[in-house]
Amino acid sequence: MKKVSALDADMSGATLVGVKLQESDLKGANLSNSNLAGANLGNTDLSNCNFDAANLTRANVAGANLANANLETANLMDVEMALSHVKNAKLPRTPPKGKRPIQVVLEDHLRWIETRGKEGERANCDGYDLTNLDLSGIDLSGASMKGADLSRADLHGCTFELSDLSRATLQNTNLEGVNMAGTNLTEADLTGANFHGARLVSVELRDQAGRSTGRMWPTNLSRAALLGACLAESDLTGANLRGADLRGADLRGANMAGAAVEGANLEGVQFKGVIAFDGVIEDVAKQKRAG
């Protein structure tokens, strides 16, 4: 395809991988949630287009008119944008001063994981504003995200094994089915977060050769705010919940074997069907008696 005219067309959710639409007129088109990976949109009129949550990985938009386009939540990894016009366009939010764009950070991190550290770079997203982004399914193991704001982001199916999210904000974030084994969530704000079916277990530490060290590293939720969070059917085996605020949290069917809850606020927690060691039950009973 080439020189197509599709003004104000609704192409939301369309699969357009590798499509050739250079020099076309797509003014005002709705391309939200579309997959345009590797597409050629060079010198195309994309003004006022909606690219909300669109995948533009490795796409060519060189020389394109992107005036007033919405690219705020689009995936722009490896996009060629030379000489494109972006006046009044909504681009992905600017990273903290001195930091790299999140698309570049994630790409380097993936390479770092795939090559076991030989190439790429471990992600450092400390202090980043990642609110409302769709990062579902991404492997962020070992990433540093201290103080980052991931509120209302879609992180379902992500892997954060041994990552550092201490003091991060994840209010009302979708964390369904995430793997957070050994993750540091100390003093994180997880109010209203959805951890349904998540893995928050201890992880076995290994040396550089991959050999077992015999040491276990727990997921650390100490002093975290988990008010109203959904932890139903999650695995919290060996997790550190000391001093955490779990008021009104849903722990139905969760596995809390070996979890540490000393000093945690368990007021109004739903415990039906929870797999727990005696210490958890005793602590709940004490708080009820005190109340």
Place 291 in a pLDDT band, splitting at 50, 70 and 90. Answer: low
Q: What is the pLDDT of residues 57-109, one digit of tens each?
A: 889 998 899 989 999 888 887 788 777 787 778 877 767 767 778 878 888 89
R_g of the chain computed on alpha carbons: 22
Place 7 in a pLDDT band, splitting at 50, 70 and 90. Answer: confident
How far, in Å, are 25, 219, 250, 251, 254 from residue 234 at the CA level?
49, 13, 10, 8, 5
Could you tell me which residue, 1 or 34, shows the higher pLDDT? 34
Place 145 in a pLDDT band, splitting at 50, 70 and 90. Answer: very high
Dihedral of CA 230/246/151/124: which sign? negative
Q: Is the pLDDT of residue 287 over 60?
A: no
Tell me if 187 sits within 8 A of 164, measured CB to CB: no
The helix/strand/coil state of 253 is coil
Place 132 in a pLDDT band, splitting at 50, 70 and 90. Answer: confident
Domains of the chain: 1-92 (2.160.20.80), 100-291 (2.160.20)
Q: What is the mean pLDDT of residues 143-168?
A: 96
**pTM as predicted:** 0.70
The helix/strand/coil state of 22 is coil
How far, in Å, are 73, 173, 180, 192 from residue 151 at the CA level?
14, 5, 17, 10
* pLDDT for res 2: 59
Q: Tell me how far apart the alpha carbons of residues 178 and 31 are, in angstroms, rounded to a whole number.
A: 28
Q: What is the pLDDT of residues 256-270, one digit of tens each?
A: 999 999 999 999 999
Q: What is the mean pLDDT of residues 155-170?
A: 96
Q: Is the pLDDT of residue 1 over 70?
A: no
